[in-house]
Amino acid sequence: MKPGKYRSIPKFRLGSLQAWMVEGTSGFYIKGSLGRFLRGENASPMTHQDLNDVIEKLENELGIPADEGIVYILELGHTFLTIKPPPLYLAEWKVLRRTSRDEFDSGTSVIFRNKTWSMSGYDKGLELKEKKIANPYSTKYALRLELRLKKSLAVRFGRKIGLRTLLDKSVWMKCIDLFTDTYFRIKKAPRINGLGTVGTTPRELQRNLAIVGERAVSLDALLAQITAEGCNGSITNQNVRRMKAALLAQENKSGKIILADALYPEIDQMVSNLGSIL
């Protein structure tokens, strides 16, 4: 039962989970991350065995069979280790049909949502650092993707979803399919292979980039264009070196990367492989 519909008393914590006793019943309403409840963090992958372990832990903590638990809201998430800072990947997310797009915290978090579900991505490494949670990974760049299903779970899965129902392999794979299908429906930003003109000096290059939007330009194509225009005499050798150095300095500045080639194929491949690793 939901506290929003039924009067509930009182609120308490069950490890990292929030819980309510529902007045007039012997039931509980529980909200939170099962991964964090099991391990203390939700950055690590939640495998099928992990789900079984966390359900058993809930049963032991509550003293109530998990078979009686009904899932009202389901959030499916996974953390992907990335080569570049997560905001660069999120900047490529442009449109997801039948949703509105919102961006937060200078592009470190993006969410597509409507009344029944949402798909979001955010900088997981930054979140762990801000919350002073130990990072379980060797890399500082981690992109978290989450699909949140808020309504009509029975319609999506063809049956009412109980807590133990999630252990059914067909339901488990349906969850992965919903996650991957929704991700691949996001339209990514196209990349420009070059500029009409890069200019002849670093200052002119920056002005021309500002016109089209720096993140929309392929870095490799831009460097090649500067080389070609240097070879035909349009740009002096000194300015070719200066312009390339300026671009690479921007690209390598920690946390401030402006230029990048299309990054989404990297995430596409990892999302495609989810079914084989979870």
- Identify the CA nearest to 142 among candidates 75, 77, 86: 86
Are residues 164 and 271 both part of a single domain? yes
Q: What is the pLDDT of residues 87-143, one digit of tens each?
A: 888 988 989 999 999 999 878 999 999 999 999 999 998 888 888 877 787 777 999
In-domain check, residue 196: no
Are residues 150 and 273 both part of a single domain? yes
Total structural domains within the chain: 2
Q: What is the pLDDT of residues 23-63, one digit of tens each?
A: 777 677 889 999 999 988 888 888 999 999 999 998 898 88
Range of the domain at 175: 75-189+266-277
Are residues 270 and 173 both part of a single domain? yes
In-domain check, residue 154: yes
In-domain check, residue 161: yes
Are residues 93 and 158 both part of a single domain? yes
- Identify the CA nearest to 44 among candidates 56, 54, 58: 54
pLDDT given at position 15: 87
Are residues 125 and 223 both part of a single domain? no
Are residues 158 and 82 both part of a single domain? yes
Are residues 160 and 232 both part of a single domain? no
In-domain check, residue 54: no
Give the number of other CB atoms < 10 A from CB of residue 275: 13
Are residues 162 and 209 both part of a single domain? no
Are residues 108 and 165 both part of a single domain? yes
In-domain check, residue 67: no
CA distances 265 to 77, 94, 105, 259, 272, Å, are 19, 15, 24, 16, 10
